[in-house]
Structures are given as C-alpha cells and as structure tokens.
Structure 1
Amino acid sequence: MIKSMKELKFIDIGSNLTDLMFQGIYNDKKQHDSDLEIVIKRAIKGGLDKILITAGSYQETVEALKICEELDPKCELLFTTVGVHPTRTKDCKVHSDDYLKRMKDLIRMNSCRIKAIGEFGLDSDRLHFSSMKIQEKYFEKQFELLEEFCLPMFLHIRGDQDCYSKFVRIINEKKSLWIKRGGVAHSFNGNLEQLKMILEMDLEIGVNGCSLKTQDNLNIVENIPLDKLHIETDSPWCDIKPTHSSYHLIETHFPQVNKPSKWEEDKLIKGRNEPIKIIQVAEILFKIYSNNSKFSFNQFIDEIYKNTFKMYFKAI
C-alpha cells in the first residue's frame, strides 16, 4: 500500500523558484499575485522535505537566498546553488575575476544554504545564447570554486555527441577537484551511450519530466542504477504532459485551472510545474524500475531520498 503524500518524503534537486511565473508573471504580463508561499506550503503538504532552488547566475543565487530567508528562516527546507548556466556565459561580466570572487563570497556567507556548485556545464542545443568555445572556457573556470569549497556539483549537459565528449574531457581533467563530493547531471535526456559516459565518470543522474517524454527516454532511464538516481521537477518547467509516453504511468493528479488568469489558491495552473508534482516523477520511475526492483513504492522513494541526502546534505 502506498503511503499518503504526508507520509512520503522527497527532495527536489532542481526547482527554479526564482522564475517570474511564481510571481504571477507570464510572458511579461501580470496574471495573478505572487503565490510562491502557497506553492511552498503545498509542497510541504506533498512530502517535500528539502528543495534545491536552481540558480544559473550570481543574481539568481542572490534572489534564491532571499526566498530561502523569507520562507524558511530556520534553514530546514530551502537551499540553493551558485554557478553560471552555460547559456549565460556569453555575458562578459561573468568572465571577470571579480564575478568569481563575488560567488565565493556568497558561499562563505551562506554555507547553510548553498549546497552545490552549479548549474554549470555545456549545452550545444542552444548555441544562439553562447558559443561552445565560450561555454567551455567558463565551464572550466568555475572549477576554481571547487579549489576552495568542497561542494558537490549540479551539472548541465545537453546536446550532441561532440558536446558530451567535451563535457567528459573537462570533467575528467578536473576530477581531483570534485571526486570527494561528486555531482549530478541534472535533467538528463541523452541517449544510452551518453548515459554510460556520465556513469563511467562516477557521476549521478537527475530525472524530471523532460527525461520522460518518449518511449526511448523511458527505455534509457531504466538503465540508471538506483543508487545513482535523483529526482527533480525543474519547475516551473518540465511538466509531464498527456502527450508524453510516461503520462499513463502517473497515479497522482491535482486539480488545476486552465489559465494563469483563472488562478485559485487550492489549484495548480495548467502548464506550470510545481515541486509537489515530484510524486509524478517518482510514480513513473517506480513503474519503470518495478521489473528489476525488490522494493515497494515507499522503499523506492526512501532509497532515492538517501541518495540525494548523501550527495547534497550530508556533512563530511
């Protein structure tokens, strides 16, 4: 028997709570009042024990820290990362030593909250934001943060085989800096060969709705060892849609309104993902793994929780 959501315990390793959708702004237009506090309270009721707020720039980390302090003053639920997303690396100011110094200062002053270096990595699918040459240069530069701080990595890797090969080269060259704490390749949606490349480097894998769109995705995800698996929502993105091959595996659904302008406090908004929906990712994965797993659903969730707690929250 599956526990009630109140009895389940999840860690969402990636939620973009700084996104303007949680302030009621969609495509630069105000549709409703900020409901971030309501979203967080709903997440707690849904079993969220910890949420890692994804940051892809210095300013996003500052914004994430503000959210943490306002909504979780005891430093028990909300945490964040510090790093520069590959699509943000074109901005010349991030290449300055001063920018790196300010990120280091954030880590020193917020050791309770900052639990990972990232989101950083490579992305050949969106080169219109930043060239691969620039991405590579600043991906490597950010490892200077790991020279001083023993934190795990929150990694971004998306693109073709050449992009993955560059990613592997850099990760392996910097291995002495990260091997003690490891890291997670979040929002994985690569092929089987790319999955093996990541696992062979002793990295772990984060799965969300974008990892579960097609039948090929599902066939690949089942090859992730359970002790290397983490779950996330990447909210407000990566919602699992009825067109996804995994949708029929979901058991838990939530009342929702069809448009942001129709906002209601006790309902979700169609197309806007939230941390509470992490249970849907868990339900899909449990069914994918069920043929090769001896665990009940509750045990399965506990195993994933242990993986993430060890990676991001266990003191060393």
Structure 2
Amino acid sequence: MQLIDIGVNLTNASFKDKQADVVERAVAAGVAQMILTGTSLAGSEEAVALCERLDPASERLFSTAGVHPHDASSWSADSSRQLRDLLEQPRVKAVGECGLDFNRDFSPRPQQQKALEAQLALAVALQIPVFLHERDASERLLAILRDYRDHLPAAVVHCFTGEREALFAYLDMDLHIGITGWICDERRGTHLHPLVSSIPQGRLMLESDAPYLLPRSLRPKPKSGRNEPAFLPEVLREVARHRGETPEQTADHTTACARAFFGLTGLSAR
C-alpha cells in the first residue's frame, strides 16, 4: 500500500536540518511520494532545491510554486516573470499555493484577488494544475474560478475544511479535494465525516499539511507536537472509515488520483 502526500511544508523552519529524516520516516510509513508546498517565491525556490538535494533521482519529491494569499501583498509586476521561471522547472508540478484567505486577511483582499488571478493566468498559459487555498472565501473563489476553469487542466482545493454547500460547488466545477488531519479533530472537523463519502473516486487526495494539523486521533502523539507526512496513514484511516472503504481501497484510488493530477512518474507499485 502506497500513499502520496500532496501537501508538505518541508521548508518550514521547524524542519530545519531534519528534512532528510522526515522524508525517510515518511517512506518507511508507506508515503511513497510527496509534493512540497511553495507559498512564496523564495519558499518555492527553496522547495525545488530541497527536492533536488534530497531526491536526486526525481522519484519521490516534487513541488508546487506560488504565492500564498497571506503573502499577496508582496506580488509585484516582476512576480509573474519570476514565478513563470519556477513553473518551467521539471520538479514543479502545480501553481500554488494560491487562493483567498478572508479569515485572517493578512493581505488586503484586492491584493489577494490580483495575485490569484495572475497565477491562474500562468496556469492556463503553461497548462499546469493549480493548488488552491481557501478560508471563508468560497463564494468569491468560485466567482473568480468561473472565468478560468474551462481553460485549466485541473485544480485542487487543498486542505478542504468547508461545509456541504462549498464542497458540492467545488465538485460541480470539476475541482479536486484535498483532505488533511482536520478530519481527525473531534472539536472542529466532525462535519467532514459525512461529507467525504460524497467526494467521487478520482477527485479525492490526501495530505498532511505538515508541520501543521497533527491528527488529534494519533496515538502515541509525537513529543514535538509537529505533524509529519509519516502520520498520513492516520488521515487515511479516518477518511476510509467515513467512506465505508478499507484503508487499502482508499489508498489505491487517492494515490492513483494524485499521480494523474500531478503527472507523477517514478515509482511503480512495490
């Protein structure tokens, strides 16, 4: 049984000098391939460099490249050019993390929308998928996506935590859905339990969002309190339980989905 973690923040400072060990533990836990998340231009460059350093054979580690809505204030006239250069590197498999965050509003909303639209335009021009972030902004995100969706090869709403209406609106737009350890949180994630069974096979992918969102159901808990891709099997178990599938069934179709979405090659089933 193999898993693919479609969202790992391996450039996060909490992983400094530990990245190789994190990858080794993930592989030992059955996470065969990982997508490192780029959230800024500098962070995206760092993610690509990590892929090349830790996985010179290009089998296990790949990345996204983009500017997170929290960083949208940094978007400038030159950002599109810099990002395009990154997106043309073979390790980079999607534009993002980009989107809208109306929960924290770390960047003004007009700036968030400007940066998102510019990144969607790049995805259309280069015909690569989009890795989307959304918090408290589903209606506006859907409105913006309507102008681009027919021209995009694919897009995934990463770390979906929303309600039924948002989920079905995303599915109606033929978007993919990423599920994290949020579903393991008995305080705020139980609304996802009945929803995950509505996500069709071929549209569902799994992610740790490490070092964030440590599954609260995980036993024993790591002393560090830090999430890792090695803990993705806990997300798998919870998702499978609420879909009425075996973990092996869920692993098979989510892994196949991720490989197709990101165009991953390298490892065959072993």
Look up the match of 1:275.
229
- RMSD of aligned Cα (Å): 1.6
| Matched ranges for 1:276-295 at <5 A | 276-290=230-244, 293=245
CA contact (8 A) 1:85 1:120 kept: yes
Note the C-alpha offset of 1:174: 1.0
| Matched ranges for 1:157-236 at <5 A | 157-159=134-136, 163-178=137-152, 181-213=153-185, 214-236=189-211
Look up the match of 1:265.
none
CA contact (8 A) 1:188 1:205 kept: yes
- Partner SS, residue 73 of structure 2: coil
Q: C-alpha offsets along residues 80-121 of structure 1, whole Å, 9 cap, x if unaligned?
A: 111111111012xx221x22111111222x22x000011111
Letter in 1 for 2:112: Q
Aligned-pair identity in percent equals 31
| Matched ranges for 1:77-88 at <5 A | 77-88=60-71
| Matched ranges for 1:48-63 at <5 A | 48-63=31-46
In structure 1, which of residues 37, 60, 66 is the aligned counterpart of residue 49 of structure 2?
66
**What is the aligned length?**
262
| Matched ranges for 1:1-316 at <5 A | 8-23=1-16, 34-91=17-74, 94-96=75-77, 98-108=78-88, 110-111=89-90, 113-127=91-105, 129-159=106-136, 163-178=137-152, 181-213=153-185, 214-241=189-216, 247=217, 253=219, 256=222, 258=223, 269=224, 271-290=225-244, 293=245, 296-313=246-263
CA contact (8 A) 1:187 1:211 kept: no
CA contact (8 A) 1:156 1:185 kept: yes
Q: Normalization by structure 2: what TM-score?
A: 0.92
Note the C-alpha offset of 1:281: 0.4
Q: C-alpha offsets along residues 235-283 of structure 1, whole Å, 9 cap, x if unaligned?
A: 0001112xxxxx2xx6xx4573x3xxxxxxxxxx2x2000110000000
CA contact (8 A) 1:82 1:116 kept: yes
Letter in 1 for 2:76: H
CA distance in 1 between counterparts of 2:236 and 2:183 reads 12
CA contact (8 A) 1:143 1:177 kept: no
Letter in 1 for 2:241: K
The gaps in structure 1 that reach 5 residues or longer are 1-7, 24-33, 242-246, 259-268
CA distance in 1 between counterparts of 2:15 and 2:215 reads 18
Note the C-alpha offset of 1:215: 2.1
Question: Aligned pair in 2 of structure 1 residues 54, 314: CA closer, same or farther (>3 Å)?
Answer: closer
Letter in 2 for 1:234: D
4+ runs deviating over 6 angstroms? none
Note the C-alpha offset of 1:66: 1.3
Larger Rg: 1
Note the C-alpha offset of 1:211: 4.0
Note the C-alpha offset of 1:166: 1.1
CA distance in 2 between counterparts of 1:186 and 1:232 reads 8
CA contact (8 A) 2:87 2:94 kept: no
